[in-house]
Amino acid sequence: MASCVSGCSPVVRFYHKLNRLKTLEDDVMATSLKRCLSTVDLALLGVGGMVGSGLYVLTGTVAKDTAGPAVVVSFIIAGIASLMAALCYAEFGARVPKTGSAYMFTYVSVGEIWAFLIGWNVILEYMIGGAAVARAWSGYLDSIFNHRIQNFTESHVMRWNVPFLAHYPDLLAAGILIVASFLISFGVRVSSWLNHIFSAISMVVIAFILVFGFILADPANWSAREGGFAPFGFSGIMAGTATCFYAFVGFDVIAASSEEASNPQRAIPAATAISLGLAATAYILVSAVLTLMVPWHTLDPNSALSDAFFRRGYSWAGFIVAVGSICAMNTVLLSNLFSLPRIVYAMSEDGLFFSVFSRVNPITKVPVIAILVFGSLMAFLALIFDLEALVQFLSIGTLLAYTFVAASIIVLRFQPDKRSGSSGGGGVKTNASSPPSPPSLNQSGQQVDPSPVASESHTFAQDSGELKEYESFSDKLQLVERQKAGEEKRAPGTLKARWEPYLGRLLGDCEPGEVVTFCVMALMVSAVSLSAVLVFGNNQLHLPVWSITLLLVIFSLVFILSLFLIWAHEQQANHKTFQVPLVPFIPGFSILLNVFLMLKLSPLTWIRFVIWLAAGLLVYFGYGIWHSKEGLREEQGQDVSARYVVLPSGSLVETVQNVQPEGHAHNTLTPDNPPDNR
C-alpha cells in the first residue's frame, strides 16, 4: 500500500499542478494599468465590437439565403442566446475585475491548464478576427474606387497562386492594422476616444438608415406574393439564428477591459447590458428595414443596404452607407487590437506566457510590447491570407471560451468559500496569510470546520488584519460563539434543507461542492452527446429514428437531472456585485447552445483547432508550467505563529501552527507548561 502511495504521489502532484487555481490579492482593484474607463466608454467598446461589417453584410446574406424576412426573428433569438453568455461574463467581470476575460475567469475557478488553453485560443480568435476585418475593410474601400487598389498591387507589386493564400498581398489591410496598433499604444484614453468618434459616426449612419428606410418601406414585401414572412419555415429561422449568433461576438471586450474600469462592480454589468441591447436593436431594426425596402429574394448579399437604396432611386445614400460601414469596421478593428494585448498581458503576468509581454509602459500604462508585436502578427495574417480562409477558422475558440465561462459560473457559485476576507464577493481564492482548513459536513449537511484551530484563528486574523500571537482567553470564547452561530447556516455547496429528507441519504456524506463539480462534468458530457446526436445522428451516423429518439431522451434526462442536482445545493450569498439570475439554468443552456454551434462547424476548422491546441500545449509544458507564479508561490517558505487553542474539553493549550498552502497538514506542538487560564 505504501509503495502504491509513493508511486502515485508524482502523478497526484502533477495533476494538482495542472489544476491549481489563481490566487488573487486581497485588493483586487490594485493594478499597474490605468483605471479610467466609465460605463459609457465600456458600452461603446462593446457596441464597437459587435456592430461591424456584419450589420451591412450579414443581414442581407441571412435574409436572402437562409431565413427571408424572418431574419428579424433570427436576430431576436440570437440576441437572447447571446445574453445568456453575456450575463456570465458580466458577473465574472464584476467579481474579478482583472484583465484577461475568459482566461482569467477560468483560472480562478477551473484550473491552470484549462485557463491557458482558453487564453491560447482566444488569442488566435482575436488575431484572425482582426485580420479578417482588415481584409473586409480593404475590400470595401477598394470597391468604392472600382478595385483600382487591387489592380495596381497585382500589376506593380506581385501576384501569386498558392492554396489558402490571397492572390495578392493586401498592403492596405496590413497598413491599417499597423497604424491602429501605434494609435492604441498611446494609451487607453486615446483608444477610447477613437472608438467614440467612429462609434458616433456609425450610430448616426444607422439612424439615417432606419429613418429613411422606414420611409421607403413597403409592407407588400412581406406579403405572400413575395413568399411570405418566413419562406424557409422554422428550420430556416433556426439556421439563421446560428449564423446571426456570431454577429454578437465581441461583448467580451468589456470584461477584458475590467482592470481599466473606474468602477467595475457597477460599470461591467451595466455596460454589457447597454451594449448588447443597442447591438440587438440595431440588427433587428436594420434587417426589418432592409427586407421592407426591397423583396428579400432580390437582395445583393455583398452590399445589401447600398444596393437597396440604389434600386429605390437614391444612389447617393449608398455613399453614406459606405461611410458607416467603414467606421463600423474601424470600431471592430480597435476592439480586437484593444483586447488581444490585454489577454497576452494577463497570461504573461501570471507567468504562463513570455514575461516580456507583461511589461507596462510607465507613461501610457498599457502593454506596448504586446500591442506592437501582436498587432504586427495580425497585419502579417491580413497581408497574405484570403478573407475566406480566415473566416473559416473563426468562432470555435470564442464558443469554447463561452462554454468554459458558463461552467465556471456554476462551479464558482456553488463552491465553498475560500476567501480570507469578506470583501469582493466571495468564492475566489485569495492570497491570505492563513487559509482555513477544508470544511466537512455533519449528518444534516451543515458545514462544520474540522479544525477549530484554523477557523477560529483565521476569523480573528480577518478582523484584525494580521495574525496575533498569544491571543487572550476572552477572544477565544468570542470565536467559539461565532463558530456555533456559523454552523446554523448551511455552507455553499451543501444540500438545501428542503431536499435533505429526499437526497440526504444519497448525497449527505459528500464534501461541499463535490456533487456540484461532478454534475457540471455530467452536464458537459450530456451537452456534447445531445448535440452530437442532433447534428450527426441522421446524416453522418445514419441512425434509425427510434435510436435517435432514445438517445435524445436519455441525454436530455441526464442534462436536466444534472441541472436539478446542482440547483438543489446552496449557493454563495453575495449581494455586493452583479449575479447571473436563475443559476444553474441560464449557464447550463448557454453551454448546450455553445456546444451545439461548435459541432456545426466544418471538419477542417476542427483540424486546424487541434493543431493550434497542440502548439499551445507545447508552449505550456515547455514554458508556462515552469514559470507559473502560482507554482512559485507554492514553493515559498512557510510562516510560523504561536496561538492558543480551545479543545473540546474546554482547556486552553498553546500551539505552534505552520501557515501552509491548502492541502498541507498542520503540525501542532503542545508545550509542557501551558499558561494560566485567566
For 88-102, what is each residue's pLDDT tens digit? 999 988 888 888 888
pLDDT for the residue 10: 84
For 313-354, what is each residue's pLDDT tens digit? 888 888 898 888 889 989 999 998 999 999 999 999 999 999
Least confident of 138-147, 151-160, 383-392: 383-392
The three cell numbers of residue 163 are 492554396
3-state secondary structure of 603: helix
Report the candidate in 209, 456, 432, 195 with the shortest Cα–Cα distance to residue 322: 209
For the cut 80, the answer to whether the pLDDT of residue 304 exceeds it is: yes
Extended strands (E) in 73-186: none
Please say whether the dihedral angle defined by the alpha carbons of residues 440, 446, 452 and 458, taken in this order, is positive or negative: positive
pLDDT for the residue 331: 92
Across 531-558, average pLDDT? 90
For the cut 60, the answer to whether the pLDDT of residue 31 exceeds it is: yes
546 by Cβ neighbours in 10 Å (0-12 / 13-18 / 19+) ranks as exposed
pLDDT for the residue 616: 94
Q: Percentage of residues in the chain with pLDDT exceeding 90?
A: 39
The whole-angstrom separation of Cα 161 and Cα 57 is 27
The three cell numbers of residue 265 are 462592480
pLDDT for the residue 450: 46
Report the candidate in 73, 353, 118, 93 with the shortest Cα–Cα distance to residue 235: 73
SS (H, E, C) 50-78: HCCHHHHHHHHHHHHHHHHHHHHHHHHHH
602 by Cβ neighbours in 10 Å (0-12 / 13-18 / 19+) ranks as exposed
For the cut 80, the answer to whether the pLDDT of residue 223 exceeds it is: yes
CB 599 within 8 A of CB 532: yes
Across 23-50, average pLDDT? 85
For the cut 60, the answer to whether the pLDDT of residue 659 exceeds it is: no
pLDDT band at 9 (very low <50, low <70, confident <90, very high): confident
The whole-angstrom separation of Cα 566 and Cα 529 is 19
Task: Looking at mean pLDDT, say which of 162-171, 490-499, 525-534 comes out highest.
Answer: 525-534
> At what angle are helices 102-109 and 112-144 packed, to 10 degrees?
170
pLDDT for the residue 203: 92
Q: What share of the chain is helix, strand, coil (3-state, %, to 5)?
A: 65, 5, 30
3-state secondary structure of 19: coil
Please say whether the dihedral angle defined by the alpha carbons of residues 630, 633, 634 and 639, taken in this order, is positive or negative: negative
pLDDT for the residue 390: 66
pLDDT band at 144 (very low <50, low <70, confident <90, very high): confident
pLDDT for the residue 670: 39
pLDDT for the residue 137: 86
pLDDT for the residue 427: 53
3-state secondary structure of 164: coil
Higher local confidence (pLDDT), 621 or 474 = 621
Give the residues across from 569 on adjacent strands.
495
The three cell numbers of residue 531 are 448535440
Pairing of strands 639-646, 652-659: antiparallel
Phi, psi of 395 (to 5 degrees): 85, -30
The whole-angstrom separation of Cα 455 and Cα 433 is 13
What does the mean pLDDT of the chain come to?
81
The whole-angstrom separation of Cα 155 and Cα 326 is 26
Q: Percentage of residues in the chain with pLDDT exceeding 70?
A: 80
* Non-local CB neighbours of 499 within 8 Å, separated by 6+ positions: 568
Across 428-433, average pLDDT? 53
Find the helix or strand (DSSP H, E) in which 653 lies.
strand 652-659
The whole-angstrom separation of Cα 309 and Cα 217 is 11
pLDDT for the residue 245: 86
pLDDT band at 417 (very low <50, low <70, confident <90, very high): low
CB 79 within 8 A of CB 275: no
B/e letters for 289-316, b = 16+ CB within 10 Å, e = fewer, are bbbbbbbbeebbeebbbbbbbbeeeeee
The cell 441519504 sits on which residue?
Answer: 505
* Non-local CB neighbours of 214 within 8 Å, separated by 6+ positions: 289, 292
Extended strands (E) in 340-497: 440-441, 447-448
